Chain A
Amino acid sequence: MLAFALKNLFSRPVRSLLALSGLTVAIAGMVGLFSVARGIESTVTQTFNKIPGLLVMQPGAPIPLFSRIPTAWGQELAAIPGVHAVTTEVWVRAHLINGKPTISPPRFLFGMDPEQAGNLEHSVYRDSLESGRFLNSSDRHSNHAVISRAIADEFHKNVGDTLQVDSHLLEIVGIYNAHSLLLDVAIVFDIDQVRQMSRIGPDTASCFYVELDNPSDQERMVETIKDHFRGRELPPWQPTAMLALDSSTGTLNNPVETFIKQIGSLLSGKSQSDDSPQRYTRQRTPTGTPSPDTKPDTNTPPGTNTATAATATSDDSAPQVDQPEVAGSDRQATTEPAATSPELPIEVRTASDWADQFKRFSADLELFLTIMTSIGVVISVLGIVNTMLMSVTERFIEFGILKANGWSNLHVLLLIGYESALLGVSGGVLGSTLGWWATLLINARWPDRIHLYASPGLLLFALLFSTLLGVIGGLYPAWWAARMLPMEAIRRG
């Protein structure tokens, strides 16, 4: 009967092809969309597996770019038993490279102390060196930089060449390739040079990378470090993390919400910073003390904040720099809730914390993608129902003949079910293949911008889902055809 069903499909090639195309596109779209979330998950897992240490940063700061903490705390961290080495890091965004705006993918200036980094057993950038050399103590206060392969390729640079970042000229001494979209965005050079370029004072750092004597002792060390700093306060003026906070709840923004707000701001001609005073007002309780709600939600997906980072940094780096003298009353007020956190002035993140946060972000993304995919799926199911209904309508006589020859209702139902299931399977195979090829093509075309991953599980799911869609799409037409009396079918024909 399966062969008969196949012949029936081939006998109406145009209609079958159209239904198949609809389903194929929907399934390919589903594979493509879900491969975004899978790609993020895969990238995150791969990336954070390479970072065994802890990151100490300002509470609520989504990424080090938005974090500011006192440099002096690094020495205290280094003195905690169980800490093997500490490196001070300053992260700022590069706005122009060789005169070209770096909007997407973003590029960051990673300032580090080469001498401190030499104490680390594992350094992700040093360990990923592809050509040239990594920074050493001789590079202190120099303009020597190590850049990623992605940046080198983008600007056609090699070791020995120079790279102009904003208004500064850097000499490339090494090229690394961490094979990660999250890591291959950094231009690594001397911390003081980065401070000078971005007007960050020597007393301020973005974060500290802490390497432990025993990497498996992370959980205990996290608590030890937290206990060490408990009850301390950050000095005033830590504004950038607050930029990532939601105006009404004090939590970090949802990416979709942020995106919509950006569009709204653009349409209304208001910049995001225009909303800052209002945002601040909502965060405070009537007594003027920080509301509990204003405590940054450290569980919020970091990806959310990357989106915010794009806006925050695109309007300028001013909120990130040490410029208390230019801070107006609004800006000063905005900083207060974070600065007066009674509990912890720091946040300690492990690689798994980062991974968890990214996974939460990808779960949100997956929800969004599911909604988008559902639209395509509904359309393709309607396409199959329409195709099969037309097919049934045209074949009344055929069903009458089959029944006259002893076919039961179930047999007729099965025949139409097979036909629609075949459409589903074919759509699944073609859609999965097309979606998979598309992800490979996109990854090859934009290797440093996006990483899509169509896992075997996703492809198998797409295939099964498509088959299910085919069967569901054929159910009503099959039921309709099966319940007709043979005479009725012949007469209608």
Chain B
Amino acid sequence: MIEIQNVTRTYQRGSAEVRALRGLSCRIPPAAFAFIVGPSGSGKSTLLYLLGALDQPTSGEIIVDGRALSQFTRAQRDAYRRDDIGFVFQNFNLLANLNAVENVLVPYLPLGTTRQKRAAAELLLQRVGLGARLDHRPNQLSGGEQQRVAVARALLKQPKLVLADEPTGELDSDSGAEVYRYLRELQAEHRSTVVIVTHDRSHIGPDDFVLTVRDGKLVES
């Protein structure tokens, strides 16, 4: 369960103060396939990054599985991101120097990658249709393939929460559909909560949880 309690986020852009979130509150049920939708600049991505502890709210509280993120120490935040969160970014954000398997293993590089972890990464890549592209670097993969690697990276650790920021924004419709298919398959398998920020409502299913945000406030859920 994710509880968002009256969260605000304000930041400076030059001399201007930008109020990205203005007292937003909501709950996302566990193992939900959730979408955050809304126009550009409405605060969708900001909310997503706050959920992933990549950013901190100016006020308010976010509680994930009963733990208040604001109470985390730096080490706990690192561990939360490493163990509990899987990120998928719009522009894939793979590391150019690493091949597909190594990119999937990125969260474990500092602590050392075991043979089991590597095998799991390879299996996951095979699941997303990249079994023949394990050693390929990002520049040798198509956009859709890169995003599938990103999905595999996000899901390798079987996180409690998968956060995706416009995951199909850079893909054609077929590739986008494929990415959603894998996300849904793996979510169903791992029982993770998936939160996706998107403009594109075409991938929203009847059972999905939808939050509509506008001007930093929740309009509908």
Residues of A within 8 A of B (CB): 1, 4, 7-8, 10-11, 397-398, 400-409, 411, 414-415, 485-487, 490
Contacts and interface: CB of A to CB of B under 8 A. Distances in A.
Contacts of A400: 54, 93
By Cβ-Cβ distance, the 10 closest A-B pairs, closest first, are A406-B82, A411-B110, A7-B97, A408-B78, A487-B55, A405-B107, A486-B54, A406-B81, A11-B97, A401-B93
A1 B110 contact: yes
A47 to B, nearest CB: 55
A398 B138 CA distance: 14
Contacts of B68: none
A398 B98 CA distance: 12
A490 B93 CA distance: 10
Given A1-B110, A8-B97, A408-B110, A403 B54 contact: yes
Given A397-B93, A404-B81, A408-B78, A4 B109 contact: yes
B204 to A, nearest CB: 25
A492 to B, nearest CB: 13
Interface string B118-157: 0000000000000000000000000000000000010000
B33 interface: no
B115 interface: no
A487 B89 CA distance: 12
Contacts of B96: 11
Interface residues of B, number: 25
Interface of B: 49, 52, 54-55, 74-75, 78-79, 81-83, 85, 87, 89, 93, 95-98, 102, 106-107, 109-110, 153
Contacts of B82: 405-407
Contacts of B109: 1, 4, 407
Nearest to A486: B54
Contacts of B97: 4, 7-8, 10-11
Most buried by A among B98, B109, B110: B110
A10 to B, nearest CB: 8
B144 to A, nearest CB: 19
A395 to B, nearest CB: 9
11 contacts: A4-B102, A7-B97, A401-B87, A404-B52, A406-B79, A406-B81, A406-B85, A411-B110, A486-B81, A487-B54, A490-B54
A354 to B, nearest CB: 58
Contacts of A404: 52, 54, 81, 85, 87
Contact of A402 (B49, B55, B89, B106): B106
B87 A487 contact: no
A401 B95 contact: yes
A405 B54 contact: no
B83 A406 contact: yes
Given A398-B95, A409-B78, A490-B54, 9 more contacts: A10-B97, A401-B89, A401-B95, A406-B79, A406-B82, A414-B110, A485-B54, A486-B55, A490-B93
A11 B89 CA distance: 23
A490 B83 CA distance: 20
A257 to B, nearest CB: 55
A405 B87 contact: yes
A110 B82 CA distance: 81
A414 B85 CA distance: 23
A412 to B, nearest CB: 9
Nearest to B86: A405
A118 to B, nearest CB: 77
A405 B153 contact: yes
